[in-house]
A and B are shown apart, each in its own frame.
Chain A
Amino acid sequence: MSTLWRDLRYGIRMLGKSPGFSAVVVFSLALGIGANVSIFTIVNALLLRPLAAARPQELAAVYTSDYSGPLYGTSSYPDYLDFRARAQSFDGLVAYAPHSVVMTTNGAQPERLQGEYVSGNYFDVFGVRAAQGRTFNAEEDREAGAHPVVVLSQRFWQKRFDSAPDLIGKQIVLSNQSFTVIGVAPPQWRGMVRGLGVDFWMPMAMEPIINPGSEMLTSRGSRGLFIMGRLRPGVTLEQARAEFNVIAGQQREAYTQQWSNVRNEGRTITLLPESETRIMPQLRGAVLGFMGLLMAVVGLVLAVACANIAGLLLARATSRRREIAIRLALGASRARLMRQLLTESLLLSLVGGALGILVALWATDLLLKFRPPFGVTLALDLGLDARVLGFTLLTAIITGLAFGLAPAVQATKPELVPALKDEGAAGGYRRSRLRSLLVVAQVAVSLLLLIGSGLFLRSLMNANAIDPGFNPQNMLLVDVELRDYKEAQGVSFYQQLLERVRALPGVSAASWSGELPLQLQGSRRGVRFEGYQPQPGEDMEVAFSSAGPEYFRTMGITLLRGRDFSERDTAGAPGVVVINEALARRYFPGQDALGRHLSISGPKGPFLEIVGIARDGKYWTLGEEARPFMTFPLLQNYEGAATLMIRTEGDPQSLVSPVRGEIRTLDQNVLVDSAKTMTEHMGLALLPARVAGSVLGVFGLVALVLASIGIYGVVAFYVGQRTREFGIRVALGAQAGDILGLVLKEGMLIVAVGVALGLAGAFAVTRLLSSFLYGISPGDPLTFTSVSLLLVGVALLACLVPARRATKVDPMVALRYE
């Protein structure tokens, strides 16, 4: 113990003596370990952390196989009731189904909430007690619609109700139905779907009230429930499986039709322990694979960091050769010395690990801040726990041994005499080829990543210059969802709202769109064109959208021929469609498409008349080639949700609340999901480029930092080995500049090879990116040169530090040992 303490104290002193070296090592370790801890934190939250239920190891999930065969399907409510009544191996069986509702509050905007329908025993079986109020009792899920009660999640209670202490017993309105809040769940209970935030739980018996006409609780064929239960004490999963095999047989006997699959065999029931259900079994393989890949990548980053640090330590070992040789000469055992050196390494890696945790906290916090543009909230519990801390400690120790062992072995090799005479330093000019190659690879990879990032960032700048085919300026988009409307009601709502909005001051035009352009994807449907004979196997699906009256005028899309949609293009009127140039070129080559017909309902029609031909635009992505496109009148092809498109004279934002006001006047309870400007919306189209640009950029910078440390290590090692040579050269008349040149040449040779390889790789690889790049060629010379220059500049700095040290070599000291 006392020698350990001495080793530690001595280690701290040694590291304190070279603060620059220690800082570089600790920094790169913080980066490398931090990356690993970040990914592990996610793996932990997704896969390793058990459900926050009591005694999670007793829980098992029950799946009914799907009609088409896959094993892990959901179950029906009548089957659930049968299972519950018959299964002896379970103490309790719970059913739940995720769903969303709209909450309306007087005077506030409607909000969309995520929740779960649950069986009445849900909280009891999982052993979860309410943090406020109470949870459900068995009575509350017996009679359909009899008990409109709801339990809120801690997060939702805090966020939406400011943790109001008197909320229990109050009413909230979900899907136009009043519910009494009876409790708030404890903070660690976040529902059953990992990664998604849950706002509330309601009894399964309320489902028919929320979805009138739904058969979820009555039909054996309506399979939408997840089932999980707690095994009776002493019952193994195998015994439970055997019992459910029997039950599956009985169900097949009793309900042959519902319990048969596509091959007319019986459906099966599969049980999985809780530990294998944290991610949906169907997705589990993919998630495991993806996480494994991520772990491998960050593991590689750490391995490279280790190799670099080992290089630095080797460089330092040459300058400590005499200290070590003397210690050996004085009788220190080799093991003793190695322990001393390893203590120093471990000290470094533990400090690096501690900082790595900070890096991980920061990185995962950043991840949680990311709002995916699909309206779900990410709610992963990415906190530190014993598992994460243990992983960090283990990683740090392995890391310390990995980068410390080789230099320690090397440094304590007992070649006493040459080291004492300092001949070794001049004798073998061993360049470690492997290490040079490693650094070359780091330079090449970092260049490749940075060029990729540069291309994306430049194309983001270019994207503003792309003509989407419509005018994106001064345009407000308001998503409207008509939940319980019949078609006639909905059409009249669309028409009335349009009238009112057009009358608002500052509005120059307005229309509806069934599907916004530039959402990265869209819908296609099979079409038949009058007079066009498809080739066998020809792709006859065409992208489409629906739009309201005066859509093309509102959007600023040029109509080359024909007319815009009008108020008269309704269900009763003749069916019409507007196509674009690309469609006309492809399916009516050399003909006038105007007045011709197409059918989207098979060869018998009805056929729709082409009443307009619009100029080509961008429909799904900004980078796409001109694609055939058709637009139908929304009022002829009713959809319950659409986007109000408003062309404004001034700032579109100023119209948000007047428009919301008009919507509320028409109907209080219409859900306005979001209001945004067209320019904001187009940000979505640029999301892939933005994400790719930043991810590549971050990884590129990490690689650059690592490469710089690698270059520094190799050059410092070189300088350390050649101290005597530089002394001789200075004694023979070399000036500082000559020595500087010599060292820089050594370092920059590695950089040059790395840059050459990186450029070659980039030329080959960036071609694959061309469909994501806007207005820029994948071999863009400006990006290639500026990134290369940046990298060479940074590499030069990394060389300069040890090179300057070489110029300070005192010939007196270097020549002293004669």
Chain B
Amino acid sequence: MISLRNVEKFYEAGATKNYVLRRINLDVAEGEFISVMGPSGSGKSTLLHVIGMHDTAWGGEYFLDGQPVHKLGKKERAELRNKTIGFVFQSYHLLDHLTVYENLEIPLSYRDTAKRERQSVVADALDRFHIVGKKDLYPTQLSGGQQQLVGVARALIASPKLLLADEPTGNLHSSQGKEIMELFKRLNDEGTTIIQVTHSEQNATYGSRIVKLEDGWIVNN
């Protein structure tokens, strides 16, 4: 499903280039559950944002679902991303002035989904994640675990084939973290491909494979 070939990324600091990702070659098959690990600053988040197409300034080749992302224009990338990918953030990034319901609705509103359909999709998601009772609350009225639940629900709302999660449990108690991991496991079992960044060996055990980054290099392939 994903194929990275010699992906590189650097930041320019004056005349010198600071490489953050170096010759990354990575293949991810459909249905895999991958955990990216490594020390702080090794480039994990960067890699995830490249895959998630938030980052556009990189070199090398990237195929997603058979499409050459490195050759696509801005519009096509956005289309492909919206169709394929859901993203979960470490600090949830819910919009504080919108209710749970409205937060879930955002991705659909950017995918030209009809209002009727949006309503039923959001209702399904609320149901599935057992947060129907919270739909009119604001994020600040939820616990961290509940917020991240909404974050995951939002990432999945448009039924992506690929779920990217950057330290999804980083801000949670271990029991809350466990809940999210079990959820990921279930999703993976249902067919969603997952790539998560994690510092926790414990969390990594839910996945099928571990990718280790150090100084921008993949060290365990």
A728 and B155 CA atoms in complex are apart in Å by 12
Residue B96 is within 8 A (CB to CB) of chain A in the complex: yes
A728 to B, closest residue via Cβ: B93
A812 and B78 CA atoms in complex are apart in Å by 15
Complex contact B78–A818 (CB within 8 A): no
Contact residues in B for A812 (Cβ distance below 8 Å): 49, 54-55
A399 and B59 CA atoms in complex are apart in Å by 52
CB of A423 to closest CB in B, whole Å: 9
Complex contact B111–A733 (CB within 8 A): yes
Complex contact A734–B97 (CB within 8 A): no
Q: Given the known A-B contacts A732-B106, A732-B110, A733-B81, are A725 and B95 also in contact in the complex, defined by CB atoms under 8 Å?
A: yes
B83 to A, closest residue via Cβ: A733
Complex contact B87–A732 (CB within 8 A): yes
Complex contact A728–B111 (CB within 8 A): no
Complex contact B82–A426 (CB within 8 A): no
Q: Given the known A-B contacts A429-B96, A728-B95, A818-B90, are A733 and B166 also in contact in the complex, defined by CB atoms under 8 Å?
A: no
Residue A729 is within 8 A (CB to CB) of chain B in the complex: yes
Residue A815 is within 8 A (CB to CB) of chain B in the complex: yes
CB of A769 to closest CB in B, whole Å: 45
Complex contact A818–B95 (CB within 8 A): no
Within 8 A of B (CB), among A409-445: 426-427, 429
A427 and B45 CA atoms in complex are apart in Å by 23
Complex contact B97–A818 (CB within 8 A): no
B166 to A, closest residue via Cβ: A818
Complex contact B96–A427 (CB within 8 A): yes
Contact residues in B for A734 (Cβ distance below 8 Å): 106, 110
CB of B78 to closest CB in A, whole Å: 6
Across the interface, B54 reaches (CB within 8 A) one of A426, A731, A735, namely: A731
Residue A145 is within 8 A (CB to CB) of chain B in the complex: no
CB of A424 to closest CB in B, whole Å: 12
Contact residues in B for A725 (Cβ distance below 8 Å): 95
A493 and B167 CA atoms in complex are apart in Å by 107
A725 to B, closest residue via Cβ: B95
Complex contact B55–A429 (CB within 8 A): no
Residue A738 is within 8 A (CB to CB) of chain B in the complex: yes
CB of B11 to closest CB in A, whole Å: 11
Residue B89 is within 8 A (CB to CB) of chain A in the complex: yes
- Per-position binary interface string of chain B over residues 87-102, scored 1 when its CB falls under 8 Å from any chain A CB and 0 otherwise: 1011101011100000
Complex contact A732–B89 (CB within 8 A): no
Residue B118 is within 8 A (CB to CB) of chain A in the complex: no
A728 and B88 CA atoms in complex are apart in Å by 11
Residue A811 is within 8 A (CB to CB) of chain B in the complex: yes
Residue B154 is within 8 A (CB to CB) of chain A in the complex: yes
Residue B107 is within 8 A (CB to CB) of chain A in the complex: yes
Contact residues in A for B90 (Cβ distance below 8 Å): 818
CB of A689 to closest CB in B, whole Å: 51
Contact residues in B for A429 (Cβ distance below 8 Å): 96-97
Q: How many residues in B have their beta carbons less than 8 Å from beta carbons of A? A: 25
Across the interface, A818 reaches (CB within 8 A) one of B82, B91, B110, B154, namely: B91
B55 to A, closest residue via Cβ: A812
Complex contact A735–B106 (CB within 8 A): no
B170 to A, closest residue via Cβ: A818
Contact residues in B for A427 (Cβ distance below 8 Å): 96
A816 to B, closest residue via Cβ: B45
Q: Given the known A-B contacts A812-B54, A818-B90, are A733 and B96 also in contact in the complex, defined by CB atoms under 8 Å?
A: no
Across the interface, A738 reaches (CB within 8 A) one of B45, B89, B110, namely: B110
Complex contact B82–A733 (CB within 8 A): yes
A729 to B, closest residue via Cβ: B106
A249 and B78 CA atoms in complex are apart in Å by 99
Complex contact B107–A733 (CB within 8 A): yes
Contact residues in A for B96 (Cβ distance below 8 Å): 426-427, 429
CB of B106 to closest CB in A, whole Å: 5
- Per-position binary interface string of chain B over residues 62-98, scored 1 when its CB falls under 8 Å from any chain A CB and 0 otherwise: 0000000000000000100110000101110101110
Contact residues in B for A815 (Cβ distance below 8 Å): 49, 54, 89, 93
Contact residues in B for A426 (Cβ distance below 8 Å): 96
- Per-position binary interface string of chain A over residues 799-818, scored 1 when its CB falls under 8 Å from any chain B CB and 0 otherwise: 00000000000011001001
A731 and B51 CA atoms in complex are apart in Å by 12
A308 and B170 CA atoms in complex are apart in Å by 43
Contact residues in A for B82 (Cβ distance below 8 Å): 733
CB of B158 to closest CB in A, whole Å: 8
A626 and B33 CA atoms in complex are apart in Å by 93
A729 and B97 CA atoms in complex are apart in Å by 13
Complex contact A818–B89 (CB within 8 A): yes
A729 and B102 CA atoms in complex are apart in Å by 12
CB of A737 to closest CB in B, whole Å: 10
Complex contact A811–B54 (CB within 8 A): yes
A730 and B90 CA atoms in complex are apart in Å by 17
CB of B35 to closest CB in A, whole Å: 18
Q: Which residue among A427, A725, A818 has the maximum number of chain B CB atoms within 10 Å of its CB? A: A818
A426 and B139 CA atoms in complex are apart in Å by 13
A734 and B106 CA atoms in complex are apart in Å by 9
Contact residues in B for A729 (Cβ distance below 8 Å): 95, 106, 110
A724 and B93 CA atoms in complex are apart in Å by 9
Q: Given the known A-B contacts A725-B95, A815-B89, are A732 and B154 also in contact in the complex, defined by CB atoms under 8 Å?
A: yes
- Per-position binary interface string of chain A over residues 315-342, scored 1 when its CB falls under 8 Å from any chain B CB and 0 otherwise: 0000000000000000000000000000
Contact residues in A for B49 (Cβ distance below 8 Å): 811-812, 815
A815 and B111 CA atoms in complex are apart in Å by 21
A818 and B107 CA atoms in complex are apart in Å by 21
CB of A719 to closest CB in B, whole Å: 15
Complex contact A732–B107 (CB within 8 A): yes
Contact residues in A for B89 (Cβ distance below 8 Å): 728, 731, 815, 818
A724 and B94 CA atoms in complex are apart in Å by 10
Contact residues in B for A811 (Cβ distance below 8 Å): 49, 54
B98 to A, closest residue via Cβ: A725
Within 8 A of A (CB), among B155-176: 158, 166-167, 170
Pairs of residues from A and B, 4 with the lowest C-beta to C-beta distance, nearest first: A733-B110, A733-B82, A811-B54, A728-B93
- What are 23 A-B pairs at a CB distance below 8 A? A426-B96, A429-B96, A728-B93, A729-B106, A730-B54, A731-B54, A731-B89, A731-B93, A732-B106, A732-B110, A733-B81, A733-B111, A733-B158, A738-B110, A811-B54, A812-B54, A815-B49, A815-B54, A815-B93, A818-B89, A818-B90, A818-B166, A818-B167
Given contacts A429-B96, A728-B89, A729-B95, 17 further A-B contacts (CB under 8 A): A426-B96, A429-B97, A725-B95, A728-B93, A729-B110, A730-B54, A731-B54, A731-B89, A732-B106, A732-B154, A734-B106, A734-B110, A812-B49, A812-B55, A818-B90, A818-B91, A818-B166
